Amino acid sequence: MRNDIDFRLYLVTNRKHLVKTSHFSLLTSHFFTAVREALKGGAKAIQLREKDLDTRKLLRLAYKMRGLTKKYKARLFINDRLDVALAVKADGVHLTQNSIPADAVRKVVHASRLTLHASRFLIGVSTHSLKEALDAEEKGADFITIGPVYRTPSKLKYGAPLGVDTLKAVTKKIKIPVFAIGGVKINKLKELKNAGAYGAAIISEVFGAEDIKGKTSEIIKALER
């Protein structure tokens, strides 16, 4: 198990959980307030996953996120966009099944001449089956997410949830850290840990909470217990 994956909560952003508005500036203001509260609560790894943004807006958000995460000594991952991750000197990138594979990402990072940065650049990969998990590990992913484990409205279009049995099957075969994702609530963390999950990737349980700082702290304690 990699010792540089030093976080159990992998927080994933979604601005639309915060306020019902399409106004970018208003959303951004609420977004950074929420992220700051999560960081104050102890979050040490955050994936910036705002798929609806164009490149300029995403880059602007990513630079601000880099500054904020550095202040709290937290890792920043960028969803899918390796170019944005390298531009803002993020700690890593999180790949989907439609992204370029992890081994190709590693080559690009090392060829970018950011040698010191490259040595600690981490790659996460979203997986939805044992086959995808094994493939991600083989291609050099540092960690994976597997899901959706539980039913969640945002993933209904992908079919039925995988369930805890699939999570168990993956954690038995995979040597890199496995983070459960999809419908994860605090009352499910013990079950996920018993199934072998290294940690949990969470969106709404944190960003939908009234007390984001308190909920983040509570989740981290449950995962580390």
Catalytically annotated residues: 49, 126, 155
Q: Which two structure tokens, joined as six digits, stand for 173?
A: 């075969």
Q: Which backbone phi and psi does 151 adopt, to 5 degrees?
A: -65, 130
CA separation for the pair 123, 46 (Å, rounded) = 13
Q: Say if CB 80 and CB 96 are below 8 A apart.
A: yes
Report the chain's terminal Cα–Cα distance, integer Å. Answer: 18
Within 8 A by CB and 6+ apart from 163, the residues are 149
* CB contact at 8 A, 199 and 179: yes
Residue 147 token pair: 């899901």
